[in-house]
Amino acid sequence: MRGLLLVSVIAWLCAAAPARADLLKPGDAFPAWSLTDQTGKVVKSSDLAGKTYLLWFYPKAMTMGCTAEGRQLRDRFADFQKRGVEVLGVSFDAPDKNAEFVRAEEFPFRLLSDQDHALAVAVGAARSADQSTASRISYLIGPDGKVRRAYGEVSPASHAGQVLDDFDADAKR
């Protein structure tokens, strides 16, 4: 009986945890988007045309993993700037919650609100608009608007370094 109960609990937990949707692949065109940042300003993908940018999706502002990842990106922000890479975070949080996160952690980059979850669904950070939080994924988008790198497995403690290493490796090709 205990074994059956354990199997039932494991099955329930697996069903309850949102699985990551399929990611876009390098070379794919990244969909056009328009999201509000923590100051209430609308930011559009067309504003970034001709620039390279990292779009990092995070589940929830001011939670342990998201804070760790954000701090790594903050601490390596000058390295991103030297390479001409703009850093933008995306979550389902409201702009005021993202503003609080920016202030608390002194982030030098913008945090965007995908409150209708449309971008997250389009790029594999959510399976559906009903998902409560975004999956922890990132995309490095090139100046041509195409995916340079897709990160479906993100370690909050090492992601910033991984992206910078990949950027440098791509630049040497």
The strand ranges marked E within 38-145 are 42-44, 52-57, 85-91, 110-113, 138-141
The strand ranges marked E within 23-146 are 34-37, 42-44, 52-57, 85-91, 110-113, 138-141
Residues 35, 68: contact at Cβ < 8 Å?
A: no
Radius of gyration over alpha carbons of the chain, in Å?
Answer: 17
- Is residue 66 annotated as a catalytic residue, yes or no? yes
Cα separation, 168 vs 160, in Å, equals 12
Place of tokens 């608390």: 104
What's the number of CA atoms in the CB half-sphere (13 Å) around residue 100? 9
Catalytic residue among 24, 66, 121, 125: 66
Question: Active-site residue numbers?
Answer: 66
